Amino acid sequence: EEGFLNGLRPQEKLTVDQWADKYRVLSSRGSSEPGKFRSSRTPYIVEVMRELSTDSPTQRVVLMFAAQLAKTETMNNWIGYCIDYAPAPMLLIQPSLAMAQRLSKQRLEPMLQETPCLAEKIPPARSRDSGNTMFSKDFPGGIMVLTGANSAVGLRSMPCRYIFMDEIDAFPPDLDNEGDAVSLAEKRTMTYSRRKILMPSTPTIKDFSRIEQEYLESDQRRYYVPCVH
């Protein structure tokens, strides 16, 4: 009876940053400040997270950021929000399969285990029939697949609503003569009218950088810090 009544209740309206402030728990394995996540500590990613929320019409979010500016935590908050609040198939792409494996082990697993609402949906990988492996994680309403931009098979494998492409400046320019890895990945979302694509990357060489090209095709928002004087 309680489950039936819960199903009748309207879903709480949340943006990604609100979800993170309410539910996200930072692991001591991946954060210098473990405990409850606070978006006030990194205010420059709040607008990014709002554009990744379901009530925003934005489909492609491009972050041309310097290193160590919370790109990964933005991704983690968005992934947690999607799993818990707006489940659908998602594809996470790292420059290589080895980096995808490292992301899964060092960043995703601690978040999934230590954020209670996510731990309920994705049992630990050591559980029998958990649907949780290094490169694939099942949850109610969707699945998360991790792959490398150096794997053409991984980029062709599934239709998905959400795509995260990390450090695209390190992606191969042509993958097995099938074209650009970013374009190949984006084709996976064509059947979804409310898709979301997140592309964060540190830029490399000016005028040759892929993230710079993506940024110039965006509305080119910047975060301005007021002078203290």
The model's pLDDT over 48-106, given as tens digits with 9 standing for 90+, comes to: 999 999 999 999 999 999 888 888 889 999 999 999 999 999 999 999 989 999 999 88
Comparing CA positions, the residue from 48, 49, 63 lying closest to residue 203 is 63
pLDDT tens-digit profile of 21-44?
999 988 766 566 778 899 998 999
For residues 159 and 87, what is the distance between their CA atoms, to the nearest angstrom? 14
User: Is the predicted pLDDT of residue 125 greater than 90, yes or no?
Assistant: no
pTM: 0.86
Comparing CA positions, the residue from 67, 88, 69 lying closest to residue 160 is 88
Phi, psi of 97 (to 5 degrees): -65, -35
Residues 6 or more apart whose Cβ sits within 8 Å of residue 106: 29, 30
For residues 35 and 131, what is the distance between their CA atoms, to the nearest angstrom? 27
